[in-house]
Structure 1
Amino acid sequence: MNRTLTLIAGVMFVLIGMALVMPAVAQMRDTGALPTAGVALFLLGLTLTL
């Protein structure tokens, strides 16, 4: 059961991290720059994903 919970938590962290990274990347593609809030969400998403 512990292994299953660890696996589920890992998958959830990757999905949540990518959900934070993708909008920041799309905004950077459209505008060419990221505002401060975008950088913070981008770094948080990378941390959760890695």
Structure 2
Amino acid sequence: MRDYAHLLWEREGKPEGRDAEFWHAAEVELNAESESPDAPAETDQPNKTTIPG
């Protein structure tokens, strides 16, 4: 996570005094990816009201 936060900080032009902001952004993004990276998007799921057959 440290490396990703550093990457985000560099992309933004290395602003001073915003380390917590970039750490939090990295944490949120990495946690979102790790929760279910292979889960289908909501639009990929079948319609629940469709009657089979």
**TM-score, scaled relative to structure 1:** 0.40
Alignment TM-score, normalising by the size of structure 2: 0.38
Greater RCO (Cα-Cα under 8 Å, separation 6 or more): 1
